[in-house]
A and B are shown apart, each in its own frame.
Chain A
Amino acid sequence: KAGVTQTPRYLIKTRGQQVTLSCSPISGHRSVSWYQQTPGQGLQFLFEYFSETQRNKGNFPGRFSGRQFSNSRSEMNVSTLELGDSALYLCASSLIPNPGPLGDTQYFGPGTRLTVL
């Protein structure tokens, strides 16, 4: 079965621009989470969607937004890009939200490497 796919894999933008990243979860998975990974801050939770509804949100400014479609595919958008937004953006999918306690597994995609110049 195909894994989590993220597009594009690499992206270069300039300050002030906006960007949209895409994530296709594993077939049958309805929960999608987004994370930002940087050397300084590590892996930080952005938001989680389940059945097209945002269930949880991390401590990021409103410039970061997301959505989930009826086929469970998800997009995240960053507006007015800043240099500090340069990071690896990871998407993870699972059958249900907060999968740990029920023994389910969250599967990560390879990420989108965003560079802001």
Chain B
Amino acid sequence: QKEVEQDPGPLSVPEGAIVSLNCTYSNSAFQYFMWYRQYSRKGPELLMYTYSSGNKEDGRFTAQVDKSSKYISLFIRDSQPSDSATYLCAMLDDKIIFGKGTRLHILP
């Protein structure tokens, strides 16, 4: 079993919809959780990070961590075509472990 599992998609949703992106993990030692966004032909950029369980909101983005279920989510409200990208979850142990990424397409 991989340490971090993420559905690769692609996920296509209409503009304005709420998007839900998810990852599961197996290592209960993970304490720090991150979401990166990667546009085509670019390196990943950090969107949000959270520590331990709970929610964190930043504009249209909400990151949620459920440590009891080993499950993290990223919600995007009022999705825009510019949100079309690959979203990678990541977790920190002694190094950063990434999910494989979910390709998201927002349809105008």
Contact = CB atoms under 8 A, between A and B. Distances in A.
Nearest to B44: A108
B43 A92 contact: yes
Interface residues of A, number: 24
Contacts, number: 54
B75 interface: no
Contacts of B107: none
A90 interface: yes
B67 to A, nearest CB: 16
B92 A101 contact: yes
A25 interface: no
B44 to A, nearest CB: 5
Interface string A78-117: 0000000000001010000010110101111111000000
Contact of A45 (B34, B44, B95): B95
13 contacts: A33-B96, A42-B99, A42-B100, A42-B101, A45-B95, A48-B95, A101-B51, A105-B46, A107-B45, A108-B43, A108-B44, A108-B45, A110-B41
Interface of A: 4, 33, 35, 41-45, 48, 56, 58, 90, 92, 98, 100-101, 103, 105-111
Interface of B: 31-32, 34, 41-46, 49, 51, 88, 92, 94-101
